Amino acid sequence: MLTRATLSRSALQRFKAICLLAPALALPGCSTLFGSGDNSGAPKVISGFIGGAAVDEPRAALAARDVLARGGNAADAAVAAALMLSVTLPSRASLGASGACLAYVPGQASPQAVIFTPTAGATGGDRQAAVPMLLRGLFLLNTQYGSQSFASLAAPAEIAAREGVPASRALVRDLNDVAAPLLADPAAAAIFAPQGRLVVEGDTVTQPDLGNLLGQIRRTGVGDFYRGVAAGNLIAAVRAAGGGSISIDTLRTALPQIVAPITLQQGDVSIAFLPPPADGGLAAAAADLVLQKSPDAYSDAQARALASAAAWRAGGGDPATLMTNPPAASPLSALPASTSFVVLDNKGGAVACALTMNNLFGTGRVAPGTGIVLAASPAIKPNPLLAAAIAWNPHLGAFRAAVSGSGQQAAPVAVAAAINAALSGNKNPTIPPPGRANVANCDGYLPGDRKSCHLSLEPSSDGLATNSGVE
């Protein structure tokens, strides 16, 4: 079942005290895919309905909500949430991570997918690292859909890394799962066991190297991370951490893409799913076809989802065929952890993202001097099923619902079950474990009846769903 949570006034005030410093740190300039960008005007604070966010880690949800309160849109808030996750939940979404997002703007013909899935590129090393794709993916999301500067959106994460944040329950659970191998790395131990003791919930985690890197990116731009001084430092740090050799050409040419989603119909509503290579979206669409006919047929939906994804990984093919009649393929092996979130703004713009390290804490090592927990290369670890969906009414040009999911093999069915339930009016759907779903749902559409909108997450989640007051 899904539960709803609201942001306390005191929590928001504490976070605003940090985040309101961000505009003073932002630098003016213009933007390209390889630059920093700053196209914002003076920050403002709005009241009443601002939208909200449902995120697997509370401070990232607060970061998103603060951006919405200052007039940012869903894409702006999504960037802020993901960057904060790199500080507060690096076990699943460090700056070394990858992922995929769906973005919708009211009146748009269809949501679009921003794809920055795990990319191999390192050679050698005893624990090959993936090419860090998160920053480029977020920068593309920002330049295509955002309204505030990337620099201003990065500032809260920079401050959190420099000054430290209390360890969340989500992070501590992940730490306890992999403590022994993780702490064998001196750089990781310095962050997560600074006094020779593994941090517990509430302990302050300070990451000065990561704060310095985020500050450099804020000042010099995302492009520097992939082709400038920061890129050279990254290459050396990856090698030093045993992640292998990554060439500057590999970093330069590792680009995100904007592609059309997989789309299904449910009555008057269209549903967009992440497309391959984010094949968890394909699997979620396959599961949704089953659940539209039989809402409780979770076992059948799971079987169809995994068969569709396995067939695509075995040889590609037409998604429509794979969803309805997937050919036989070897079953998927155990899949890695991921994390996800959804953001909704007050105009009906929405973003749903799934992020991954391709393993819990990726390679289990921190690139020295950068603070980056390195993600594992897809050459040595299978990709997760990154799953998300956004539903909208193309006739009204209005948002209806957004869902993101995690939970290894169960992520696609979690998304399918949650989106199907939202469109069917079921406020408390059953999400088959270990799947988790983050949901933004507007029964009365948006633009439309704002009082019909709410955000929710799993009771088992350690995250936060923020719901602004509705006047």
3-state DSSP assignment of residue 276: coil
326-336 as b/e, with b when 16 or more CB fall inside 10 Å? Answer: beebeebeebb
CA-based end-to-end distance of the chain: 27
When mean pLDDT is compared across 36-45, 114-123, 304-313, 408-417, the lowest value belongs to 36-45
pLDDT of residue 1 exceeding 70, the answer is no
pLDDT above 60: residue 363: yes
Judge contact between 42 and 61, C-beta under 8 A. Answer: no
Residue 467, pLDDT score: 80
> Which of 64, 91, 75, 77 has the alpha carbon at shortest distance from 7?
64
pLDDT of residue 124: 95
Q: What does each C-alpha distance from 439 to 168, 199, 312, 377, 394 come to in angstroms?
A: 21, 30, 27, 30, 20
Report the pLDDT value the prediction gives residue 426, as an integer from 0 to 100.
86
State residue 430's pLDDT score: 85
Cα(231)–Cα(367) distance, rounded to whole angstroms? 12
Q: What percent of the chain has pLDDT over 70?
A: 90
Q: Is the pLDDT of residue 451 over 60?
A: yes
How many C-beta neighbours within 10 Å does residue 15 have? Answer: 22
pLDDT of residue 47: 78
Residue 372's pLDDT is what?
98
The chain-wide mean pLDDT, for the chain, equals 90
For the entire predicted model, the pTM comes to 0.91
Over residues 234-267, the pLDDT tens digits come to 999 999 999 999 999 999 999 999 999 999 999 9
Q: Which pLDDT band holds residue 9 (cuts at 50, 70, 90)?
A: very low
State how far the Cα of 205 lies from the Cα of 51, in Å rounded to an integer. Answer: 30
C-alpha distances (whole Å) from 357 to each of 86, 360, 362 are 11, 6, 5
| Least reliable range by pLDDT among 33-37, 226-230, 313-317, 359-363 | 33-37
Question: What pLDDT sits at residue 13?
Answer: 38
Which H helix or E strand runs over 440?
strand 436-446
Give the pLDDT confidence score for residue 138 in this predicted structure.
98
> In the predicted model, what is the mean pLDDT of residues 369-375?
98
- Rounded mean pLDDT, 93-116: 97
**For residue 469, what pLDDT is reported?**
52
Rounded Cα–Cα distance for residues 183 and 198 (Å): 9
Stretch 298-304: mean pLDDT, rounded? 96
From the list 103, 48, 106, the residue with the least C-alpha distance to 78 is 103
> How does residue 46 score in pLDDT terms, banded at 50, 70 and 90?
confident
- Is the pLDDT at 277 greater than 90? The verdict is yes
Other C-beta atoms closer than 10 Å to the C-beta of 190 total 16
